Amino acid sequence: MSSISTATAGWLALRAPADDAARSAELAQRLGRILRRSPAPIVMHDLGAGTGSMTRWLAPRLPGPQRWVLRDGDAGILQHVDLAPAVDATGAPILSEVVVEDLAELPADAFHGASAVTASALLDVVTGEEAERIVRACLSAGAPALFSLSVTGEVRLRPSDDEVVESAIARAFNDHQRRDADGRRMLGPDAVGVVADLFRDAGWNVRTAATPWRLGRQHSALVGEWLDGWVDAAVEQRPELAPAAEDFRRRGRSQLTAGRLRVDVAHQDLLTWPR
């Protein structure tokens, strides 16, 4: 695939409990109501499926029977798909298949026959052109879509240690997300706005929900990994930040060890469906 792989199975397992707690159950329920009118089985496509965490979370919230198509550009991550615990709303197991596919080549008819499309932690790592392909394929199939957990760029650490450095790191991290890497410019924190506008322009309904990670003492391993990734990306983007950012990281690490660090990382979920 043209993109750098954005996840490892270990990272996805580490973040899964925080992801599951953050996702909008209300938008999922609404999708479930929309799908009550669909012929059985419900056919769902999960884009950037990773190890299948969105499928595991969403399947029990939708009517059965269900068939899922898990699509991802990284054949390696798909080796770790685990759908053993995935059941529909009646408790019945789901049927599934995997497809290795780069979204840069997603055909316009990719979702024909789909009841709905979903994705989680994906929109912020796709390019504008890939987002347009996803939207075009949803419109062509008339398939509602639920895009979960796109980062919006706001982060809050408590206790707040140095707000000036924290804001500078946050700005540099967000610029890093939007940077041009190997000819690809990811949407980063602009993703939900861009995709929402594309669906609204097509006359579709759009609902969004704030779905922040709220991380505390019980997420210390995740917070440690997240803090390192956040600071490293900011320093890569703005190397002159390194001395202040390393001090910030060191103080954050000692708050974490003392069980005092809390981090909120903003995300948004987006549900869209035809009028």
Ligand X SMILES: C[S@@+](CC[C@H](N)C(=O)[O-])C[C@H]1O[C@@H](n2cnc3c(N)ncnc32)[C@H](O)[C@@H]1O
Here the tokens at position 132 are 């347009």
Binding mask 56-75 for ligand X (x = CB under 6 A): ----------------xxx-
Q: How far is the CB of 95 from ligand X (least distance, A)?
A: 19
For 5, which DSSP code?
P
Using the rule CB under 6 A, which residue among 54, 110, 168, 256 binds ligand X?
54
> Helix, strand or coil for residue 68?
strand
Say how many residues touch ligand X, by CB under 6 A. Answer: 25
Q: How far is the CB of 56 from ligand X (least distance, A)?
A: 9
Q: How far is the CB of 78 from ligand X (least distance, A)?
A: 8
Q: How far is the CB of 124 from ligand X (least distance, A)?
A: 9
Q: List Cβ neighbours of 240 (8 Å cut-off, separation of 6 or more).
A: none
> Which is closer to ligand X, CB of 77 or CB of 114?
77
Q: How far is the CB of 201 from ligand X (least distance, A)?
A: 23
Residues between 79 and 138 with contacts to ligand X, criterion CB under 6 A: 102-104, 120-122, 125-126, 130
H helix runs in 151-269, sequence order: 163-177, 191-201, 220-237, 242-257
Q: How far is the CB of 128 from ligand X (least distance, A)?
A: 12
- Quote the CA–CA distance of 16 and 183 in Å, as a whole number: 30
Closest CA relative to residue 112, chosen from 17, 194, 45, 209: 45
Closest CA relative to residue 154, chosen from 242, 236, 54, 230: 230
Amino acid, single-letter form, for residue 12: L
Residue 7 lies near ligand X (rule: CB under 6 A): yes
> Which is closer to ligand X, CB of 48 or CB of 189?
48
Backbone dihedral region of 91: left (phi > 0), alpha (psi from -120 to 50 degrees) or beta? left
> Which is closer to ligand X, CB of 101 or CB of 264?
101
Q: Taking the CA atoms of the chain, what radius of gyration do you get in angstroms?
A: 19
Residue 48 lies near ligand X (rule: CB under 6 A): yes
Using the rule CB under 6 A, which residue among 31, 34, 50, 273 binds ligand X?
50
- Quote the CA–CA distance of 72 and 248 in Å, as a whole number: 36
> Which is closer to ligand X, CB of 122 or CB of 209?
122
Q: What are phi and psi of 208, to 5 degrees?
A: -125, 160
Listed ranges 48-56, 188-196, 225-233, 267-275: which one lies at the site for ligand X (CB under 6 A): 48-56
Residue 150 lies near ligand X (rule: CB under 6 A): no
Here the tokens at position 206 are 């759009």
- Which residues form the interface with ligand X (CB under 6 A)? 1, 3, 5-7, 12, 19, 48-50, 53-54, 72-74, 77, 102-104, 120-122, 125-126, 130
